[in-house]
Amino acid sequence: MILAIDIGNTNTVLGLFENSTLVESWRLNTASARTIDESWVAVKLLAEDANRDLKSVKGIVIGSVVPKETFVYKKMCEYYLNQTPFEVNGNLDLGIKLDVKSPNEVGADRISNVYAAGKLYGKPSIVVDFGTATTYDIIDDKGNFIGGSISPGIETSAMHLFESAALLHRIDFEIPKSAIGRDTRSNLESGILFGAADQLDGMIKRILNEKGWSDIPVVITGGLGKVIGRIIQTNVIIDDDLTLKGLFHLYTDLN
């Protein structure tokens, strides 16, 4: 089995691949205060609960945007699994080109997303990842990453709003019945969710117009991707595990 570890600013997602199939995945809060031993206990308990023996892992790949957590998980793998993880970054010879001004600044999550999208869904294509930030990543007909855009994530923006407005309180996100809210909760749901959906539709239209493309794969992943995918006008592919799949394929293709 191959263990893929996607370390994001909010969550750390771990996936176990058997052959090329993702057989287990677990999500942990990215807690910088967690020690190497505590991280191992958390991962070990999750694996045991799923009746998976981590000692059968033959390779490990890490993609991270949180350097402190990268260190913790690398040391955890070295100490408890006796393996040095393969780390995805923009300095590797990926087989695709990071055709941007500073390739070394491209996050491992974005590299993994575009690699998986090109391999699994076609080229050119667009990836939208709903995480701490919402990222739009574009690959050309050769599979090269040619740039994109970054905006505040849905939950990130909402939390800032709740923290800044004394009379507004955190809500669980549910799709409203109408764009015109009749109370504070439905006002928030409409503004946050329909606003995010319309942003996606508008950005995709703008990107397609700039490139002169039409009818190309648009893959969405992460966070509230499934929710937004139900209320957008753009035809999309929803793949919650895109980043993990990208890490796995980068590991197997480059090793």
Phi, psi angles (nearest 5°) of residue 236: -130, 165
Integer Cα distance of 11 and 31 in angstroms:
8
Q: Is 225 helix (H, G, I), strand (E, B) or coil?
A: helix
What CA–CA distance (Å, rounded) separates 171 from 152? Answer: 18
Strand partners, 28: 12
Bridge-based pairing of strands 2-7 and 59-64 is: parallel
Instruction: From the candidates 6, 49, 109, 253, give the one annotated as an active-site residue.
Output: 109
Active-site residue flag, 109: yes
What's the CA gap between 212 and 72, in Å, rounded? 44
Residues classed as catalytic: 109
